[in-house]
Amino acid sequence: MAVTIKDIYPICTAPEGIPLVIVKVVTSEPGLYGIGCATYTQRWMTVAHAVTNYMKPLLVGKDVTRIEDIWQMSMVSAYWRNGPVLNNAISGVDEALWDIKGKMANMPVYDLLGGKVREAARVYRHADGRTLEEVGDKVQAFMEDGVQVIRIQHGGYGGNAYEQALESMRPDGACTGAYYDPLGYQLSVTKLFDYMRNRFGFNVEFCHDVHEHLDPIESVRLAKELEPYRLFFYEDSLAPEQNEWFEIMRRQTHTPIAMGELFNNPREITPLIANKLIDYIRCHVSQIGGITPAKKLANMAEAFSVRTAWHGPGDTSPVGHAADIHLDVSSWNFGIQEWAGFKQASLDVFPGCPELRKGYVYPNSNPGLGIDIDEELAKKFPCSEKLPQWTNCRRPDGTLNRP
């Protein structure tokens, strides 16, 4: 007799102050359930609503083993598709079903995906600060912990967003927002890399995230200026709406390029892969719909010598991080994994978190994703309904910019 879906519900929690959405799928088999990440921090309430009011009615009673069929059904059920809200809701269910299947087989998910090709995933950490010395000290601490690749930023994405564009630069009556100065940012980045290479030499690898803050031609220029510093990669240098500029960038620079954090549909990124315009895919796994599409995307990228570098900031839940690591250790073309790390509150709410040791993150060998959630403890960390402010990003003249 088939094991079926008995209930689906979201669990919203914020152990570190960042809203997370976890989906729990309960089965007809007593004690058997799975959890998955559906975290879209900036619109978490909308995702939770979609899980409760659309995914549950659609899927209750379905055979839990039919992961591919359920994913395809969920994607087309709304007719209009491939948006971040529904994709995250679908991801929550998809990852929970992989978790369930692993528990039914008494195998970790990485074995279901073909087995390990490495024991752990090499990660990169994030070093930021108000001064060059402060960033350098954080780099030093990471290096002493065994981290081999570090993303360096100076004063946040775009560089000191709230201070760099001085009040005197704004017109009268300019709107409030997170102001930054594109030229000042570009100049600060080259100074940052010059300082880091002079201090540490080439004994550590660095990457940098533009975070869409520059016009395309400015981003191309910065990529060229950073060539002597040998970046591990140059991250999210263009917006998804500017994909045609990657061909121009590729012709102009040999700096490795990583892209994909804001993509919803793998079809948005496949031309960049097929035309060899990027070196790393940076998708947020829950944003594209979960493990099912991510594994397919990784396999396609392998054929074109493109590596994975899944998005892994603080607004990826520990469950989402666990899913990433299972993909990382089972994908031959894995490149690097972004790693925000966990505070004690997250470790308490999510027992079974992957473990960081000397620059590598290790999955455990428990069946499924190997991670769980303490629902009662999760309730002690409610999510805030406050809208984010950093997304209200503006240039010195007050023009709204991509964040």
User: How far apart are alpha carbons 175 and 392 in whole angstroms?
Assistant: 10
Is 378 part of any domain? no
User: How far apart are alpha carbons 86 and 40 in whole angstroms?
Assistant: 10
User: How far apart are alpha carbons 89 and 74 in whole angstroms?
Assistant: 9
Q: Do 324 and 312 form a contact (C-beta atoms < 8 A)?
A: yes
At 72, the amino acid letter reads Q
211 is catalytic: yes
pLDDT at residue 168 in the model:
74
Q: Do 218 and 395 form a contact (C-beta atoms < 8 A)?
A: no
Helix 291-302 and helix 318-330: axis angle, to 10°?
Answer: 30
Is 84 part of any domain? yes
Active-site choice (211, 311, 321, 326) = 211
Q: What total number of domains does the chain contain?
A: 2
pLDDT at residue 161 in the model:
54
Domain boundary among 84, 107, 130: 107
Share of the chain above pLDDT 90, in %: 87
157 is catalytic: yes
User: How far apart are alpha carbons 121 and 259 in whole angstroms?
Assistant: 19
Q: Same structural domain for residues 301 and 359?
A: yes
Q: Same structural domain for residues 81 and 122?
A: no
Burial class (CB in 10 A: 0-12, 13-18, 19+), 69: exposed
**pLDDT > 70? residue 346:** yes
What pLDDT, in 10s, does the model give residues 6-53? 999 999 999 999 999 999 999 999 999 999 999 999 999 999 999 999
Domain boundary among 90, 107, 124: 107
Domain that holds residue 18: 5-107
pLDDT at residue 166 in the model:
65
Q: Do 237 and 223 form a contact (C-beta atoms < 8 A)?
A: yes
Mean pLDDT of the chain: 95
Q: How many CB atoms lie within 10 A of CB 261?
A: 21
What pLDDT, in 10s, does the model give residues 353-377? 999 999 999 999 999 999 999 999 9
What pLDDT, in 10s, does the model give residues 156-211? 888 865 565 567 788 888 888 888 899 999 999 999 999 999 999 999 999 999 99
Is 375 part of any domain? no
Q: Where are the alpha helices (DSSP H) in 315-382?
A: 318-330, 344-349, 375-378
Active-site choice (33, 157, 179, 234) = 157
**Tokens 């299972």 belong to which residue?**
326
What pLDDT, in 10s, does the model give residues 242-301? 999 999 999 999 999 999 999 998 789 999 999 999 999 999 999 999 999 999 999 999
CATH classification of the domain holding 65 = 3.30.390.10
Q: What end-to-end distance do the CA atoms of the chain give, in Å? A: 51
Of 368, 395, 391, the C-alpha closest to 112 is 368
Is 384 part of any domain? no
